[in-house]
Structure 1
Amino acid sequence: MAKKPVTSRTGRFFKLAGMTASVAGQYAGQRARRMFRTVDDEGARSESYTRMAGEIADTLGELKGAVMKVGQIASQTQDFLPKEFSQALEKLQKEAPPMPFDVILAQVESELGKPVGELFEYLQETPYASASIGQVHRARLHDGTDVIVKVQYPGVDESCDSDLKQLRLALKLGGLLKMPKETVDQLFGEIRLRLKEELDYENEARNLKLFHEFHKDQPWVVIPEVVDSHSTRRVLTLELVEGDHVSKVTPERYSQDTLNEIGHRIFTIMADQLFRFQCIHGDPHAGNFAYRPDGTIIMYDFGCVKKLKPEIVEAYRKALIAALDEDYQALDQYLIDLGARVDNQPAVDEAYYAMWRDILIIPFLNDEPYDFAEADIHKHVAAKTSTVFKYLDYFKPPVESIFIDRMIAGHYWMLKRLGVQAAFRSELEKYLRG
């Protein structure tokens, strides 16, 4: 029998508090057992991580909302979390349990002010997709237009702040937050702001129209149209636009040439949003993109959009030029301008910058196509993360550019999963040097 959904703030708090207590107890027990071992038992540690991760993922999937969204963001970090957590949290991208249909119906009728039968010719009971803060159902308007209806889960917006506080405590007590408090404060603060925007579907409707305008001269970018008459703050109705999820992009239907063209188009979308529009799609995971064999790219979910300050974009551009040119003195200054470097600390050792530059520049080294299917940049980055502690006092999280970094990382994983083979150096140079 399906569990009754937890929609009250109190109910959510107790559910998360129970998870936190369990995870903290498991972590404490694991540490105690390690103290009495003569050798580090990797198998026992992995088993403990798997148990904790499974419990966190199951709870976040059941509760939806802010905590599930943060879980999805964490899953995208891949090698930066213990692999057991990445694997468990990755389920939240595609295996979230659906909300009962009667809850969805009540929310639709409450928001749109009419019985569902008056609003739609039909509203399909089986979810078209389940997301972190809402569920999507296929429907048809009475004029015959096929649409999807995105319905926000009840109680999610009211419990956002308490959910985030509780999840942060669970990660801390589970030994997973190994960052300075100031870093965690800023990271969760930025996530909270973006979530507040995402919880407002009227804001998402405005974003959809804005990005339509951005990409109007690129017919290979498809963004669904908003049906204003059937949309409110918690219900968003869009035209039905379908394509293939990345898992369905197979060699039988997509040639390597098509994949490479899609790769160049993904790069153009990303660079245009960053350097031309100065406004980026901030949630670039696989579920928010679809593809067609003619090279079309479909973009979904514009709840998380980050408008960038011109001075941040300019500092980012200059920092990239300095890195490409191996001008590490200039790079140090531009990172200060970007808000990533503490300005009252002495200059960072150029060899440290050179190490990171040599890892991250690999796809842009020359005009030879780079095979993203074989890309292992993330592994090189993970292997060097311990070096960050040496310069912990020199750097701070650049809140304004956190979502730029997230966008770039999300696109890296898309290019890798698609198996794109492409050279982007000359394209990057055009955006950087005009």
Structure 2
Amino acid sequence: MSHKPTTTRAGRFFKLAGTTASIAGQYASQKARRAINRGNADSIRTDSYTRMANQLADTLGEMKGAVMKVGQIASQTQDFLPPEFSRALERLQKDAPPMPFEMIRRQVETQLGQKLPDLFAWFQEMPYASASIGQVHRARLHDGTEVIVKVQYPGVDESCDSDLKQLRLTLRLGGLLKMPEATVDQLFEEIRVRLKEELDYENEANNLRLFRELHQDHPWVVIPALVETHSNHRILTLELEEGDHVSQITPDRYSQDTINLIGHRIFTTMADQLFRFECIHGDPHAGNFAFRPDGTLVIYDFGCVKKLKPEIVTAYRNAIVSALNEDYQALDRYLIDLGARIEGQPAVDEAYYAMWRDMLITPFRGDAPYDFGAADIHQQVAAQTKTVFEYLDYFQPPVETIFIDRMIAGHYWMLKRLGVQAAFRGDLEGYLEFGG
């Protein structure tokens, strides 16, 4: 059953403010209990963080908009929030509860200036998908073209800045932002800029045109075409390009060879965007990709696109080369260039770098195919989370690469869910030599 989310600016402020006060109170209580029960401090913190995280995830899921989108980003970024929060916020990646159809109808008619029957021969009331800042419906134009219509929730754009300020206050008063204030400023500004771009559907239309051009030499990449007559800054109408969701990739329709081919195409698409185009699709969750039995890859939703600075791509490439070569002094320098390592701090123990390097290069270790379906890199990473606290003063979330990290994590999960078996070492070396 759908319910009307909080869309007025005042309503959103008071909802977030209530959560902020509650989380701040819980944090103060937790600190007091940890001071009294020092031997049980870790357990107290974990229990308290889990309660606070679930409360925050519930609030963000109800509110949609900017704060829900930040929650999605945070769930994919290991060093943004404590692991209890990342786990709780992961559920924001799932389909959000839909908006009432009357609200959607009113938004379409207000934005496009005509009644729904004049705009479309048919418009499905049940949403095709619902997400953090908009909802997608299937429809048919009067000329018979099958389309999908992406409708931005009313009020989301206007409340973006105030939502972000209140969320930042929530995280700060909850003792959750373990990084310098200047880094927090950079991080939230980067998220704010990306969100403002994502809230402008005309910007997404431009991104669609750009990525259709970038991938024109990849006939196996399908990006939906824009219907300009039915689009503006809050409504986006695209020609329908269907495919199978990752959950529908079953052995009766997809052979292992086809799945492996799709895996190679996913890797090529990601690596081209990072190393060749220096422009990446920044929202790589399963709902934004679909597949076809002939190996076609369909990519949706170009609201979140990050154009990368050439020097950042160079530093990223150099960091990977240094890690592969086990040159940890060079790796340390390139991490400083990326903004991940705080300059001026003593050198990091090479054994620490070696541990992470050995874990993360596993899929690229040799020429034999790697079974992503059996991959447990995420579990290994989670098991080493405590070691991160030993080096909190040495590292910070790299603002310039937050969306690169998000892209790589998203593609890892896609390869795992597909059950890809492939060797990418040779492909990776080719990209590292490109421009190197």
TM (norm. structure 2) is 0.92
User: CA distance change for structure 1 residues 402 and 50 in 2, over 3 Å: closer, same or farther?
Assistant: closer
Q: Amino acid of the residue matched to residue 123 of structure 2?
A: L
Q: What is the DSSP-based 3-state SS (H/G/I as helix, E as strand, rest coil) of the residue aligned with 2:189?
A: helix
1:425 aligned partner:
425
Contact 2:5 2:63 in 1 (8 A): yes
User: CA distance change for structure 1 residues 143 and 216 in 2, over 3 Å: closer, same or farther?
Assistant: same
Contact 2:122 2:141 in 1 (8 A): yes
Partners of 1:364 and 1:58 in 2: CA distance:
38
1:190 aligned partner:
190
1:330 aligned partner:
330
Consecutive unaligned residues of structure 2, counting only runs of 5 or more, are none
Partners of 1:124 and 1:208 in 2: CA distance:
24
Partners of 1:41 and 1:347 in 2: CA distance:
30
Partners of 1:45 and 1:320 in 2: CA distance:
35
1:275 aligned partner:
275
Contact 1:79 1:378 in 2 (8 A): no
Say whether 1:162 aligns with 2:181: no
TM (norm. structure 1) is 0.92
1:152 aligned partner:
152
Structural mapping, 1:8-407, within 5 Å: 8-32=8-32, 40=40, 51-77=51-77, 85-407=85-407
Contact 2:95 2:129 in 1 (8 A): no
Q: Amino acid of the residue matched to residue 271 of structure 2?
A: A
User: CA distance change for structure 1 residues 252 and 86 in 2, over 3 Å: closer, same or farther?
Assistant: farther
Contact 1:275 1:313 in 2 (8 A): yes
Partners of 1:307 and 1:77 in 2: CA distance:
19
Contact 1:76 1:86 in 2 (8 A): yes
Q: Amino acid of the residue matched to residue 278 of structure 2?
A: Q
Q: What is the DSSP-based 3-state SS (H/G/I as helix, E as strand, rest coil) of the residue aligned with 1:150?
A: strand
Q: CA deviation at 1:142?
A: 0.4
Partners of 2:341 and 2:21 in 1: CA distance:
36
Contact 1:79 1:382 in 2 (8 A): no
> CA offsets, 1:125-147, max 9 Å, x none?
11111111111111110001111
Q: What is the DSSP-based 3-state SS (H/G/I as helix, E as strand, rest coil) of the residue aligned with 1:149?
A: strand
Partners of 1:93 and 1:169 in 2: CA distance:
23
Q: CA deviation at 1:347?
A: 3.9
Partners of 1:413 and 1:9 in 2: CA distance:
35
Q: CA deviation at 1:395?
A: 3.5
Residues matched between the structures, number: 434
2:6 aligned partner:
6
Partners of 1:37 and 1:131 in 2: CA distance:
42
User: CA distance change for structure 1 residues 356 and 47 in 2, over 3 Å: closer, same or farther?
Assistant: closer
Contact 1:201 1:235 in 2 (8 A): yes
Q: What is the DSSP-based 3-state SS (H/G/I as helix, E as strand, rest coil) of the residue aligned with 2:96?
A: coil
Identity of matched residues, %: 76
User: CA distance change for structure 1 residues 81 and 247 in 2, over 3 Å: closer, same or farther?
Assistant: farther
Q: Amino acid of the residue matched to residue 221 of structure 1?
A: V
Partners of 1:28 and 1:391 in 2: CA distance:
25
Q: Amino acid of the residue matched to residue 102 of structure 1?
A: E
Consecutive unaligned residues of structure 1, counting only runs of 5 or more, are none
Contact 1:371 1:419 in 2 (8 A): yes
Q: CA deviation at 1:309?
A: 1.3
Q: What is the DSSP-based 3-state SS (H/G/I as helix, E as strand, rest coil) of the residue aligned with 1:273?
A: helix
Contact 2:95 2:131 in 1 (8 A): no
Q: CA deviation at 1:380?
A: 2.4
Contact 1:80 1:382 in 2 (8 A): no
Q: CA deviation at 1:372?
A: 1.3
Contact 1:186 1:397 in 2 (8 A): no
